[in-house]
A and B are shown apart, each in its own frame.
Chain A
Amino acid sequence: MKGFQVKRLDKNDVSVLYPAGFLDAHTVPQFESALSELVENGRYKIVVNFKDLDYISSAGLGVFMGFIEEVRNNGGDIKLCNLSDRVYKVFDLLGFPALFEIYNQEAEALEKF
């Protein structure tokens, strides 16, 4: 079974999500609920740290699109960091670098808020 977990750490007014394992069509609802929890609590400054993510399918990317508009309208953003080559390739293929800020290190992402 391809496992997936997502942890959350709040660093001041920025929340960092740590998805781990496989993010595909089957596990994406878990990640989606983690994001929607943040949005519901009005925490619009979000960093997603992919250091523990082994795999993301193209279906897993849609979830970001579901929230980005609302987040940005509320003065926040979703910034991505620590993408492995394999994960970055999927983002890159779909053109996400044109839509999202992507950083190598979490600290850089945090700084940009």
Chain B
Amino acid sequence: MTKKLTRHFLLIAILGVMSVSFLFDWGGLKNLGLFNLLGYVHEGLSVLVIWLVYLYLKSLHLFNNKNVQYNLKLIVINLISVYVLVFALKLIFQPQFVTIGFPPQTNDLKTIIYSNLVSLIGLFSMVGFILALRNLIFYKPKKNTRIYFYSSLFFLILTAILTSVLKAPLDLSFSGNGIYNNGTFVLTLIFLFLLSLRNSWITYLSRKEKLYYTFIAILILWGVSYIFDYAYELPVAYHSLAQAVFINGSWFFLFFYTLTSLIYLMLQLPTARIFERKMQEVSSLQNLTRAISVEMDTNKLTNLITNMIINVTGSHVSWIELLNPHENRLQVLATKNLLLQDVSKLKNGALKQLSTQILNDKKTLVLNELTTAQKNEYFQGFRSKINSLVITPIIGAQNQFLGLLYAGKSSVLGFDPDDVNLLEAFANQVAIALENADLLQKSFERERLEKELQIAREVQMRLLPQTLPQLKAYQLTTETITAYEVGGDYFDFIPRTDANQLGIVIGDVSGKGTSAAFYMAEVKGIIQSIARQNHSPAEILGYTNKVLATSLEKKSFITLTFAILDSQRHQLKFARAGHCPLVHFKAKNGQIIYHQPAGIAVGLDRGQIFKDSLQEHLIDIDLGDVLVFYTDGLSEAMNGKLDEYTEVRLADILKQFADQPVEIIKKRLIEDVFKFVGDHHLHDDLTLILLKRIE
């Protein structure tokens, strides 16, 4: 709000002072006596107007934009408007000056009005030029730029004051009084000249802009060199010497600056293409680095890179071949400007000979002049015209070969050393990107696997019975100890249609992880569906094998023992499909019997061999007898010396504690296993079922 008010006030002040100044001209007051005192007042007012115009224009948004193109446009508009306005004023007022002495004189009212108006236009225009040039100069300010700028303005105003006081022309003659104002004028010119050398904005123009601006600069220079004579020389000098000096000085500034800019532009024209290329290289590598840090998709990245190659090196075609480590084969990716037919030729190994050569040398191959023979050999039947070709290997941090980067041009001698360097830089970036993506992928993979294992573990745990069946005359207990990796241990109790019977199943799925958990679920489903009926253990296992053999992976198998406990007859009927033997403690004589009827694991055979090999055993259970079902996690538990726990140690514990309740036997047994393995952790799940007849 206050800024706006200040601006309005400034504008009113300018017009006010100019009006007073006009009255001086009109009344001829400035040339009256009293030591020319009124003349000094008039010049003082003129200097004040310069200052006010400077403050006014500086406060406008118009001159607060540092953009190069914008300021150049301002200068052009400024120049053209001055010509148009002064031309119009000349037509309207038809000014006439008496130019015998200095400054020029007139008594014609129209000429006086014309002079005042032209002076005002001149001030606005010149201050406008200064401010626009200031924005260009400060495009890339250096240490002394500001000092030079304000020094030149200071000396210009000082010269203006001195000239108006001494009334000596600025002819650089250094005679008489002229020594002072010409001296300060020379200082002004020196600073202005120094400022004129500040045209760093030109360096960063594009090649097209440089060419275009060179022509514009010639026209501006022509316009500038005539404007002083055409518009300002007579009327401003008549109106106010101070303003004339100011306009003259700033005109010099404008002229110098236009001249040096033109020279700079012309000097930079031959190197413009190279400079532009270098700028593009820097920015594209920057963009690429940025893209690599966020983009992990190999396809997108390689596409980005081939696009950049086309843009920066001016190649007509580009593509990337990456080594597929699993197949040890190069895979064509991110083809640019290649027709589908050509891509399929590449995929069929059109350049196999070249790629093998680079694979061995690990060096960039530059084929700048492909001979007809070479073209026939490599690009037989290609639709795309390729006359020069660069192939750069993509080498990883461990010096491993990751792939190849191709760039081709339809012209001969298409690639200079700069292009080749750049392509190598791109290849390095590709290598970094690929390795980053690979690392990330691996860590994702690990995380996913861990998650998967956790899920498998949870599934497995939920498949096991959560409560134990209550049995008359028998004690029953179970234990599952999970190892670090997910195993495939499984056990279950299945009530039978005959209430005196209980189905007991224990098994171990070969392999670990998710697949083991799934197979276990499948086994549980099959067994639950048929084991309630009046089938025998061998029938149940045979059916399980029949169903599972088709769905199991070739390498996988499942060991299973199925037993039916008859708690009235005190008999156990069971069959064993490759599972660990059933350990039987006979209370009667304190002996251990290992029941290992023949039988092969589920999944090893699809039908007849399995059925034929399977035997059923029927065991009598006497009072105090203990039966132990277990998985190989127990018998194969290993200590640091790589000894196995074995059934023998299990038998020893049984013999010692068989008279105790099953919970105590189990506790002692597990203590003993852990004592045995020591620091050598369990590497597989361990499952136990203990059954003891107590009545």
Contacts and interface: CB of A to CB of B under 8 A. Distances in A.
Q: Which DSSP category, helix, strand, loop or mixed, fits chain B's interface? A: loop
Interface in B593-647: 596, 598-601, 603-605, 609, 612-613, 632, 636, 642
Given A58-B559, A59-B511, A62-B510, A94 B601 contact: yes
Contact of A95 (B508, B578, B580): B578
A98 B600 contact: yes
A66 interface: yes
Contacts, number: 60
Contact of A93 (B596, B603, B612): B596
A93 B594 CA distance: 12
Interface in B546-580: 554-557, 559, 577-580
A94 B636 contact: no
B512 interface: yes
Contacts of A65: 554-555, 557, 603-604
Interface in A56-110: 57-59, 61-63, 65-66, 69, 93-96, 98-99
Nearest to A99: B604
Nearest to A55: B642
Contacts of A94: 557, 559, 578, 600-601, 604
B601 A95 contact: yes
A25 B483 CA distance: 14
Contacts of A66: 554-555
Interface string A1-37: 0100000000000000000001001000000000000
Contacts of B612: 98
B604 A95 contact: yes
Contacts of B578: 93-95
Contacts of A62: 510-511, 555-557
Given A65-B604, A98-B609, A99-B605, A93 B580 contact: yes
Nearest to B599: A95
B295 to A, nearest CB: 34
A107 to B, nearest CB: 27
A62 B605 CA distance: 12
Give the secondary structure class of A's interface.
helix
A99 B600 contact: yes
A61 B598 CA distance: 18
Contacts of B554: 65-66, 69
Contacts of A57: 636
A2 to B, nearest CB: 7
A4 to B, nearest CB: 13
A50 B255 CA distance: 99
B473 to A, nearest CB: 31
B577 to A, nearest CB: 7
Contacts of B555: 62-63, 65-66
B612 to A, nearest CB: 8
A58 B604 contact: no
Nearest to A62: B555
| Among B510, B580, B596, residue most surrounded by chain A Cβ atoms (within 10 Å) | B510
A76 B208 CA distance: 77
Contacts of A61: 510, 557
B636 to A, nearest CB: 7
A42 B25 CA distance: 116
A58 B636 CA distance: 10
A94 B612 CA distance: 15
Nearest to B614: A95
Contacts of B580: 93
A19 B295 CA distance: 46
A59 to B, nearest CB: 6
Given A58-B510, A65-B554, A94-B604, A99 B609 contact: yes
A88 to B, nearest CB: 13
B601 A25 contact: no
A62 B558 CA distance: 10
Contacts of A99: 600, 604-605, 609
A97 to B, nearest CB: 9
Residue among A25, A59, A61, A62 with the highest chain B CB neighbour number at 10 A: A62
Contacts of A2: 642
Contacts of A69: 554
A32 to B, nearest CB: 8
Which of A25, A59, A65 is packed against the most chain B CB atoms within 10 Å? A65
The CB with the most chain B CB atoms within 10 A, among A65, A93, A95, A99, is that of: A95
A71 to B, nearest CB: 12
14 contacts: A2-B642, A58-B632, A62-B555, A65-B555, A93-B580, A94-B557, A95-B578, A95-B599, A95-B601, A96-B600, A98-B598, A98-B609, A98-B612, A99-B604
Given A65-B557, A94-B600, A98-B612, 12 more contacts: A58-B508, A58-B510, A58-B636, A62-B511, A69-B554, A93-B580, A94-B557, A95-B599, A95-B604, A96-B600, A96-B604, A98-B598
User: Ordered nearest first, which 4 A-B pairs have the shortest CB separation?
Assistant: A95-B600, A94-B578, A62-B555, A66-B555
